[in-house]
Amino acid sequence: MAFNLKLSPLVATLAACAALTSFAQTAPGRLTAVTVTGKAAPLLDVENADVGGFGTPLAKTPQSVTVLTSDLLAGAAVQTLSGVLKLDASLADNYNTSGYIESLSIRGFVLDQSGNFRRNGLPTSNYLPIALENKERIEVLKGVSGLQSGVSAPGGLVNYVTKVPMKEAFSNLTLAVDGNGSSKLQLDHNSSVGGVGLRLNLVDEQVHSHFDHANGERQLLSLALATKLGADTSLAADLEYQRKSQPSVPGLGLLDRNGDGVGDSLPGNINPRLNLNNQSWSLPFQSNSTTAQMALTHRFSADWQARVAVNTQTSLINDRLTFPDGCGNAANYVYPGLCANGGVDVYDYRSEGERRSLQSWAAHLDGKFNALGLAHNARFGLGGHSSRADLPAMQAYNYVGSSNIFAPVALPADPTLTVLNSNSRERALDGYASLASRWSPDLQSFAGVRVSRINRSSELSDGTEAVSFEQTVNTPWAGLAWSASNNTTLYASWGQGVELEAVPNRPALFANAGQVLPALKSEQVEIGLKWQANNRLLLTAAAFSIDKPYADDLPGTAAGALPTRAAGAKTARHRGLELSAAGRVLDALSVQASLMALDARYTQAADLALVGQRVTNVPRLKASVFADYKVSALPGLSVNALASLQGAKAATADGSVELPASWQVDAGLGYAHSIAGQSVLWRVNLENVTDRVYWREVPTTSWGGIYLFPSTPRTLRVSATLSF
């Protein structure tokens, strides 16, 4: 394996300067009230999470919440959002590949990139590459999140919590390399100046993908500030800039063996390094994104406090791809899928200068009071967000010839701009309230509602086909928790969610291409058990049922007419059981383990043949176990392993094709010691120890395409962190 180290001189210089300043810090005493402290790593047990919204310990809340901390991500050598998904059985891939924006599903539902993600509690867009280096933890609320987020898909809510200034000054400098030739330099620097806490994260990465000709680069600058404005008032601010450039890798497809024009067979002889975006004229996917946040917190009394926070996010994306899709070299044109011999049509796709922006804000008042003989915890709040997508007037999507997945060929480029883009606007204003009431020492109720006023519009880039709508929706939620003993809680909850859909911008496929559709409501019922086995180990079990309406395609009435996508034309029901264990089993052994059994089927559809069929790309069973063991014979040494298993997934709507069940094992070790009085942490991780090759996922996109993505080959990762 060849290691290639190439680092930006600018970032290296900044790292050196920040390192020098760590030896001359202003006393951080004033920061005590606005900083956080943690338990000794590995921090796999977490007592609270902001994503739930009730401020109740996780062991007592009637919600399913998973918290994936930064030291867990470091121990498992997780590099990307798709890597995070291996750490919890309820999370799964959705069109995740190298060099492109990542997405995920929870409980079998694909999350909306703009509605299901939060950054420090504020709405944020996930339609850009996500940096993990400046994230302290990733909080995942599973199930409907209408109370917490308003408009969102019912699978769950993801909250990225960024690193904040700490009380003690430190600098951590990490150098990481892998067997593909990637290299990364990261500085995590914590200090204070004049009573203002400062947390700086710098990253410079040269990305060498395991896919052929898919290398790129990435830079990150993140700065968090915190200070006290008075005895009861604190101010925090956060700035993040990230730049990434890397060719994206398209998915493959099913082969049409029977010649009916639809793919029906999995390709054999998987090459996990194949990249069909590998023409001499192929260009990288590029993104530049900036996020800025500010939050003001004021305590009025021991029982009441308020928080006001604002967020702004902008991104500029050049989306370019040599895109293989469908096959015209057969008696019947194949879509979705490829010709039986692996033949595939190739398109030159370019949409350059895509500008997206999002502004969000929230103000809430938290308090405790007694009324009607009961003790209550309440939250009253207002919030809102405004987002827009301003795409280039035209995009290129031009057929340039035919290739083959088994023997790719060189093809000519055609960057001619031929297709109009769609621009969109969205505004939402939310009012919300929640109440947690204690009826007895053992019984507590939770209730809340959010009222959202939604305004959404879209139009083609030439100003035609403009559509818009306004709608007011309510999303209530209620739960009950009973403490059967000091360490055991039984709960039940019910809630609703609401979401928006838009028709894909494919004028050749839809009569109403690019249009926004009215909001639809989903509903969930959940019962669960939580057991605090010891003060650092939480075991949970939850059973749930979620009904979600979808948009579906209604055939045109005239001969040759395109279908129209209509809101609420089909419904899916996901019923499942989740089991999890998180925390420290023994002084030397920590675990993060989970299992999900899920039955996801359509209960209503315009196409009656779909009723009763399994939802595609959703396994019936998924399990994940991460374990970290401290070796007592050699202090500072720890070993870990991550085993993941997923059952078969339906690849086609009729269930005739499935991805086989698959499993993977990763392993790692860490060794912490001192050199010349400075702490050094070495990590060695091996992903996919047995080098298993399998199809990892098979998403069906909103425009009807079905794609295949392979597993990652065995990859060695090595890092060294110097703390000073």
Please tell me the predicted confidence (pLDDT) of residue 34.
37
Of 7 and 493, more confident? 493
**Mean residue pLDDT across the chain:** 92
pLDDT tens figures, 90-101: 999 999 999 999
Of 20 and 62, more confident? 62
Strands (DSSP E) contained in 1-108 are: 64-69, 91-93, 104-106
Within 13 A of 199's CA, how many CA atoms are on the CB side? 24
Please tell me the predicted confidence (pLDDT) of residue 39.
47
pTM, two decimals, is: 0.93
Q: How far is CA 712 from CA 132, 274, 585, in A?
A: 19, 11, 31
Q: Percentage of residues in the chain with pLDDT exceeding 70?
A: 94
- Provide the token pair at 109: 């539902």
Please tell me the predicted confidence (pLDDT) of residue 507.
79
pLDDT tens figures, 325-342: 999 999 999 999 999 999
pLDDT tens figures, 562-584: 999 888 899 999 999 999 999 99
- CA–CA dist 635, 247 (Å, integer): 43
pLDDT category of residue 3 using cuts at 50, 70 and 90? very low
pLDDT tens figures, 10-45: 455 454 544 444 443 443 333 333 333 344 456 687
pLDDT category of residue 280 using cuts at 50, 70 and 90? very high
- Provide the token pair at 351: 């949409």
Q: Is the pLDDT of residue 504 over 90?
A: no
Please tell me the predicted confidence (pLDDT) of residue 423.
92
For 248, phi then psi, to 5°, come to -90, 155
The CATH-assigned architecture of domain 9-723 is Beta Barrel (2.40)
Query: Parallel, antiparallel, or unpaired for β 91-93 and 104-106?
Result: antiparallel
- Provide the token pair at 466: 């403009």
pLDDT tens figures, 374-397: 999 999 999 999 999 999 999 999
- CA–CA dist 236, 295 (Å, integer): 5
Residue partners of 552: CB distance under 8 A and separation at least 6: 565, 566, 569, 570, 605, 606, 607
- Please report the DSSP string for 670-689 in residue order: EEEEEETTEEEEEEEEEEST
- CA–CA dist 326, 404 (Å, integer): 11
The mean per-residue pLDDT over the stretch 132-153 comes to: 95
Omega cis (within 30) before 476: no
Q: How far is CA 79 from CA 55, 84, 124, 394, 449, in A?
A: 30, 8, 21, 34, 37
Please tell me the predicted confidence (pLDDT) of residue 42.
64
Please tell me the predicted confidence (pLDDT) of residue 28.
37
pLDDT tens figures, 708-723: 999 999 999 999 999 9
The mean per-residue pLDDT over the stretch 273-291 comes to: 97
Helix ranges restricted to H, 620-721: none
Of 155 and 10, more confident? 155
Please tell me the predicted confidence (pLDDT) of residue 687.
98
Domain ranges of the chain: 9-723
- Provide the token pair at 717: 């990762």
The mean per-residue pLDDT over the stretch 346-361 comes to: 97
Q: Is the pLDDT of residue 517 over 50?
A: yes
Q: Is the pLDDT of residue 476 over 70?
A: yes
- Please report the DSSP string for 321-372 in residue order: EEEE--B-SSSS-B-SSEETTSEEEEEEEEEEEEEEEEEEEEEEEEEEEEET
Please tell me the predicted confidence (pLDDT) of residue 36.
38
Residue 620: CB atoms within 10 Å: 17
pLDDT tens figures, 683-704: 999 999 999 999 999 999 988 8
For 123, phi then psi, to 5°, come to -55, 135
- CA–CA dist 152, 143 (Å, integer): 11
Which of 22-36, 62-76, 237-251, 509-523 is predicted with the least confidence, judged by mean pLDDT?
22-36
